[in-house]
Structure 1
Amino acid sequence: MRSILHRRITVPVAILATVGLALTGCSSGGGGGSADSGPGDAGEADGVVTMYGTIIDTEEELLNESWAAWEEESGIDIQYESSKEFEAQITIRAQGGNAPDLAIFPQPGLLGDLASRDYIQPAPEGVADNVGEYWTDDWAAYATTDDTLFGAPLMASVKGYVWYHPADFAEWGVEVPETWDELLELTATIQETTGVAPWCAGFDSDAASGWPGTDWVEDLVLRQAGPEVYDQWVNHEIPFDDPAIAEAFDSVGEILLNPDYVNAGYGGVESINSNTFQDVARVIGDGTCALHHQASFYDGFLTDPTNGNTSVGPEEDVWAFLLPPVEADSGQAVTGGGEIVAAFSNDEDTIAVQEYLSSPEWANSRVALGGVISANNGLDPSNASSPVLQDAIGILTDENTTFRFDASDLMPGVVGSGSFFTGIVDWINGKATEDVLSTIESSWPSE
């Protein structure tokens, strides 16, 4: 997520040196301006800052722990509310005048939608200063709409890891693949050797169901069609039903739609949509599943004691390799994700919390607790105790890495967290690729 990432985006970057806000009335508690009035003074400092996001379960506990000492020092109570319905509910809450003080947006496209409709407060000066000092222009662009910075990046992840069991690979006499074709050969070999499906997947995530499948497609678009086509796809310079996107879907289907290859520990292809992405950690941990595609953050789910306290490392229970390129020695291309913290309120307490979350102090506090990384360049890499997270930091900081932010997160919300998600679910349920892509294309907002 930093300056070290190689991504080109058409959104211009303007980091605000100062922020002048017109007084347009206050709301009680949190809540932004309206689409008619535009963002203005909203919220009153009362020692409580409400926050809303998608970070749940163990990760939510660690999030609260990460700022606990700062809360005591500052006297500000951060009240975080998690929801699997965030993508659907945040717009409803903003429109209804019931927005939180702060929201953690996993999709820059969704943030941009609300910012363009004047619900989001421009970033205050301290946040803008931190973004200018600790993030690259690429990362600032993810939080920028119409030349205005609206927030700061929070955490980061490298997507496209394939989780596996090193001991099983040694027993089966197989090696980590170096190309996509070798990955398919590996899959066939494991299936023939064991007689069971090698891959496991879970796409259920309530209102966001389907997103793990979009990650698969994005990885294949980047590896097969290349970064220029990927950028054209994100910016709708080519249609969603372009042949390059159809090819990526069909390539993913060679694994996910093959009943011989999925769904280890659960059943057939149809079970992918009925199992949560979190629960899959259990069948990886107990050895039922041989291969699973998921981002670097999955380390936190695997090592969670409720999933068997699986050890992660090159010589441990589970390790990971990046989804390989189409051609060997063609360079490393990866997709990644992260969150943007943006405000609906602009009282002193909210600004103080927003500034803290954009600082190296918070980044180091959270990364030291495990499970995540940050693209804040004030991060001490040694705080990432997990080998896979250290590996992910190395990938992000490698100047030879071709990096692209998660495509669905950059697309307009109605597509990225809407029709793309539901299209993947329909596709797993048997809808033809051509029909799925046509439906998603028809949902793209007109200019």
Structure 2
Amino acid sequence: MSRPGARTLAVLGLCLVLLGAGVLAGVRWARDWEGSVTLLANWSGAEREQFERQVVEPFEEKYRIDVVYQGSSALSQVLAADMAAGNPPDVVVLPGPGELLAYAVEERLHPLDGLFDTRHYDRFWAPEVTVPGQGTHTYWLPVKTGLKSMVWYAGRPPTGPGAVPDGRWCLGMESGATSGWPGTDWVEDILLQQAGPRVYEAWANGRLPWTDAAVRKAWTTWADMVGAGTGARAGKALTTAFDADCAPDRLEHLGSFRAGHWGPEGGDYVHFSEVVPEAGPDAGTWEVSGDLAALVNPTPQAEQLIRYLADPGTALPEYSANRAATADEERNATEREIGAVLREPGRARCWDASDAMPRTTRDAFHQAVLRHLAAPEELDDRLAELNDLREPQDLPVCGAD
């Protein structure tokens, strides 16, 4: 009988080590872990790393529940496919309430009643929603929030409708599967500042036609402000990433996530109503955004994750809407001010309208602003197309709790 060579013994030793590790892992799982929960969201890169470090890892350590994170930039398409296949995630995080409302109406979401104290949030952020045949329930809570209606600048602050000379706006429309959303932010914010929250909410809920004079005026105002139809300028905006660098001598209409870009430049912001032409008497309302968590599969592990996300002691990324959470004293003055606008009662706030709209309308809106930027003379065709998609709904879009 031949004796095994050194190489054979080494391979055998490695196999035994791996087998031992697998057995150890299996024993560890059986002894320590209490199951798993799948979470679908659109965070990637640094956003995902921050969420996993600040939220997922402490949750897993505390409750011994494994969080299986599924990230996708095509979030809506992935979720729809998973739902159709009967294999949805346990918890989903979507930007804005419009798509979630549709899933609630289809009885795809489970109420969050009793899982957290809704008094920690303004009703605007975690509302009770009435769904026909299902009563009134809370179906989502904010994981992180963002402030819009901001004009970033460095140096002298812009004030007045004529304060921004032609060509000074930084503008980028490219954002992968969601390209166009920066343009929808412009149209929405202009309508909000010109026509006020009541008109804005009716439009976002599909109860005001896209062909209404106030809506049409918002589109034409945007075209005039950014030079829509101007070949080179429009072409550059269509191919520039939304988060591309913006020179300090220019201005940018983007949300609070841009604080990290403008801060090192000594930048600050003014409310968009300071520069939008023909701002109305109700100007000054803030447009806001939020990533909202909802329960699709109510397992004990999924419910525990919802409780954890709503716990005031959980260190959520960026800006939390939980009024009971401890204020982050490490933030700078600008960031603390943004957090106050997002959390404090009495602030007039409205959801990003496209995020409050049904998915089909939202996606068409994204495409329409891209086409309007290139060919503003075709506006009436764009508005007629969007109006055909109008679906009246009843969602709390604006609030000042």
Q: Counterpart of 1:53? A: 41
Q: Which runs of 5+ in 1 are unaligned?
A: 1-44, 170-174, 192-196, 303-309
Give the Cα–Cα distance (whole angstroms) in 2 for the partners of residues 142 and 294 of structure 1. 29
Identity %: 24
Give the Cα–Cα distance (whole angstroms) in 2 for the partners of residues 384 and 328 of structure 1. 37
Larger radius of gyration: 2
Match of 1:203 among 173, 179, 196: 173
Give the Cα–Cα distance (whole angstroms) in 1 for the partners of residues 202 and 111 of structure 2. 28
Output the TM-score relative to the length of structure 1: 0.73
Output the TM-score relative to the length of structure 2: 0.80
Matched position secondary structure for 1:374:
coil
Is the contact between residue 158 and residue 335 of structure 1 (CA under 8 Å) also seen in structure 2? yes
Aligned-pair CA distance for 1:228: 1.3
Q: What aligned pairs does 1:406-425 form with structure 2 within 5 A after superposition?
A: 406-416=352-362, 418-425=363-370
Match of 2:213 among 240, 243, 246: 243
Is the contact between residue 196 and residue 282 of structure 2 (CA under 8 Å) also seen in structure 1? no
In the alignment, is residue 290 of structure 1 matched against residue 246 of structure 2? no
Q: Counterpart of 1:443? A: 389
Match of 1:63 among 51, 54, 62: 51
Summarize the Cα distance change of 1:210–1:351 in structure 2 as closer, same or farther, 3 Å threshold.
same
Q: Counterpart of 2:6? A: none
Q: Counterpart of 1:194? A: none
Q: Counterpart of 1:30? A: none
Letter in 2 for 1:268: R
Give the Cα–Cα distance (whole angstroms) in 1 for the partners of residues 249 and 35 of structure 2. 47
Q: What aligned pairs does 1:242-391 form with structure 2 within 5 A after superposition?
A: 242-258=212-228, 268-278=233-243, 280=244, 283-284=245-246, 287=247, 290-300=250-260, 302=261, 311-312=263-264, 316-325=265-274, 326-327=278-279, 332-362=284-314, 365-367=315-317, 372-383=318-329, 385-391=331-337
Summarize the Cα distance change of 1:383–1:345 in structure 2 as closer, same or farther, 3 Å threshold.
farther
Letter in 2 for 1:48: S
Match of 2:158 among 166, 171, 176: 176
Aligned-pair CA distance for 1:429: 2.5
Q: Counterpart of 2:351? A: 405
Q: Counterpart of 2:379? A: 433
Matched position secondary structure for 2:366:
helix
Aligned-pair CA distance for 1:358: 1.5
In the alignment, is residue 137 of structure 1 matched against residue 128 of structure 2? no
Give the Cα–Cα distance (whole angstroms) in 2 for the partners of residues 415 and 204 of structure 1. 19
Matched position secondary structure for 1:90:
helix
Matched position secondary structure for 2:273:
coil
Summarize the Cα distance change of 1:359–1:399 in structure 2 as closer, same or farther, 3 Å threshold.
closer
Aligned-pair CA distance for 1:137: 2.2
Give the Cα–Cα distance (whole angstroms) in 2 for the partners of residues 55 and 341 of structure 1. 13
Is the contact between residue 203 and residue 274 of structure 1 (CA under 8 Å) also seen in structure 2? yes
Give the Cα–Cα distance (whole angstroms) in 2 for the partners of residues 446 and 397 of structure 1. 29
Is the contact between residue 332 and residue 400 of structure 1 (CA under 8 Å) also seen in structure 2? no
Aligned-pair CA distance for 1:104: 0.4
1:256-283 residue CA offsets vs partner (Å, 9 max, x unmatched): 23578x9xxxx621222222223x2xx2
Summarize the Cα distance change of 1:329–1:149 in structure 2 as closer, same or farther, 3 Å threshold.
closer
Letter in 1 for 2:221: S
Task: Detail structure 1 runs of 4+ shifted over 3 Å in the superposition.
Answer: 142-146, 325-331, 396-401
Match of 1:73 among 62, 68, 71: 62
Letter in 2 for 1:322: H
Give the Cα–Cα distance (whole angstroms) in 1 for the partners of residues 211 and 150 of structure 2. 26
Letter in 2 for 1:80: Y
Give the Cα–Cα distance (whole angstroms) in 2 for the partners of residues 398 and 354 of structure 1. 23
Aligned-pair CA distance for 1:255: 2.0
Matched position secondary structure for 2:316:
helix
Summarize the Cα distance change of 1:327–1:230 in structure 2 as closer, same or farther, 3 Å threshold.
closer
Letter in 2 for 1:138: F
Q: Counterpart of 1:40? A: none
Give the Cα–Cα distance (whole angstroms) in 2 for the partners of residues 444 and 243 of structure 1. 16
Is the contact between residue 108 and residue 142 of structure 1 (CA under 8 Å) also seen in structure 2? no
Aligned-pair CA distance for 1:215: 1.0
Give the Cα–Cα distance (whole angstroms) in 2 for the partners of residues 399 and 361 of structure 1. 20
Letter in 2 for 1:70: F
Query: How large is the Cα RMSD of the aligned pairs?
Result: 2.6
Q: Which runs of 5+ in 2 are unaligned?
A: 1-32, 394-401
Give the Cα–Cα distance (whole angstroms) in 2 for the partners of residues 222 and 149 of structure 1. 26
Summarize the Cα distance change of 1:204–1:231 in structure 2 as closer, same or farther, 3 Å threshold.
same
Q: Which moved more, 1:86-95 or 1:224-233?
A: 86-95
1:219-238 residue CA offsets vs partner (Å, 9 max, x unmatched): 11111011111121122221
Match of 2:95 among 90, 101, 106: 106
Matched position secondary structure for 2:163:
helix
Give the Cα–Cα distance (whole angstroms) in 2 for the partners of residues 227 and 311 of structure 1. 30
Give the Cα–Cα distance (whole angstroms) in 1 for the partners of residues 128 and 114 of structure 2. 18
